[in-house]
Amino acid sequence: QSVLTQPPSVSAAPGQKVTISCSGTSSNIGINYVSWYQQLPGTAPKLLIYENNKRPSGIPDRFSGSKSGTSATLDITGLQAGDEAHYYCGTWDSSLSYAFGIGTKVTV
Amino acid sequence: QVQLQESGPGLVQPSQTLSLTCSVSGDAITSDGKYWTWIRQRPGQGLEWIAYISNSGSTYFNLSLKSRVTISQDTSKNQFSLKLSSLTAADTAVYYCAREAAGVSALDFWGQGVLVTVSS
């Protein structure tokens, strides 16, 4: 069980757009930055978005993040087969632990 | 480029203590604003944050694991380590080490992970 709620799965055709939501509370998303991580099958997670909407070097602009109140969103546009992965949101919680969402599986 | 590499036993017996080490290259574990972190992922499950040790040696733990976790650093080897005691089958997981940088408020570099199985 996680304090951050994500849909278990989303899917779309190649070239389309998917949106992944991450719902939290005033104890976590409401007061802290949100990050997003991509985990391709059999690999370690990789940072995709930090501080709600910033991309590390090398991350294409097809990936974008936003935050409003106690929720955050990851958008993936121009969906590609290589985007099939699990996506996790993460943020600090006032319980003094870093919290991850349960993860969303993206199917192309 | 920052790189992290976990090392440790792949199989540990129940009730024993797991010891893992993360070797870091491309950054000093004593450099300012860095938090050296352990995360685990049970088979088929999501990510669980375990603990971190900061560049200054301060530590922070997941409250649900705090009584069983020790985290330490060896600055001479640029490594940090995790010990998890009183193991059960529920501790079977891939264990990752990662860096959290204050400048990005995120886990920006990860190791490849090491699978630890708790079984007799």
Q: What residues of chain A lie within 8 A of the CB of B49, using their CB? A: 97-100
Q: What single-letter DSSP state applies at residue B76?
A: T
Tokens (6 digits) for A31: 């007061």
Residue A58 vs residues A6, A10, A47, A55, B36: alpha-carbon distances, Å: 25, 24, 11, 8, 23
Q: Which of A5, A89, A97, A104 to mutate to test the interface with B (most CBs of B within 10 A)?
A: A97
- pLDDT-derived band at B112 (thresholds 50, 70, 90) equals very high
Q: What residues of chain B lie within 8 A of the CB of A100, using their CB? A: 46-49
Task: State mean pLDDT over A58-70.
Answer: 97
pLDDT in tens, A3-48: 899 999 999 999 999 999 999 999 999 999 999 999 999 999 999 9
d(CA B60, CA A31): 19
Which amino acid does the sequence have at A105? K
Length of chain B: 120
**Backbone angles phi and psi of B91, in degrees to 5:** -90, 0
- Sequence-distant (6+) residues with CB within 8 A of A82 are none
pLDDT at A19: 98
pLDDT in tens, B45-72: 999 999 999 999 999 999 999 999 999 9
Does residue B90 sit at the A interface (CB-CB below 8 Å)?
no
d(CA B89, CA B66): 18
pLDDT in tens, A80-100: 999 999 999 999 998 878 999
Count other C-beta atoms under 10 Å from residue B30's C-beta. Answer: 13
Q: Are B25 and B86 in contact (CB under 8 A)?
A: no
